[in-house]
Amino acid sequence: MKLGFICPNVPGHLNPMTALARQLQARNHDVVFLYSSEAAGLPCVPADEKDQVNESRPEISKMQGEDALQFASHVVMAQTESMLKTLPEVVETNDVDALVIDSVNFYAELGAMQLGMPYLHVAGAAHFDYSGYTPLCLYGRMKLLLELSSETERMSRGLLRSWRTPTPASKRMRRKSD
């Protein structure tokens, strides 16, 4: 099985994800890091568009508290939005069978759902449990959460209109075995 990893291209997220990828590679899985320019020597497929997270690091390093959290959340959401537009083509071109998604890549699972392929979330840094069983690490920042929620709704509506219907992963896997 070929696993596509999606995580921010920064050490705090890449390091635990590459460790996990190496363990899965040792168990005979193929791995590839999607939208990454480097992954500690593992196969990568860089993004065509700019890396908004790394380009914003100098600016966010001068911020604190709520301002920094809000700015970073918007940058990650913008990067996820551009990622979701290209994900069907990237997955198909690289023969990816399942996605391993850093939980900080808000809503990247929408791409896997749209493609009908398996995915899982990995919390290599901050823990995000959307089930409601444990408090969200952003608890107490309701204004920001509501703002992100409306931005996500807008993004989802736009993406659902623009996505083509790709070949589901299960059909691609059957095609490979024939």
- pLDDT number for residue 134: 61
Max Cα distance, the chain (Å)? 55
The CATH number of the structural domain formed by 2-165 is 3.40.50.2000
Please report, rounded to a whole number, the percentage of residues in the chain having pLDDT higher than 90.
26
In 3D, which of 33, 80, 32 has the Cα closest to residue 52? 80
- pLDDT number for residue 25: 94
- pLDDT number for residue 54: 65
Confidence of residue 4 (pLDDT cuts 50, 70, 90): very high
Confidence of residue 29 (pLDDT cuts 50, 70, 90): very high
Average pLDDT of every residue of the chain: 76
- pLDDT number for residue 129: 61
- pLDDT number for residue 67: 79
8-17, 49-58, 65-74, 142-151: segment of lowest average pLDDT: 142-151
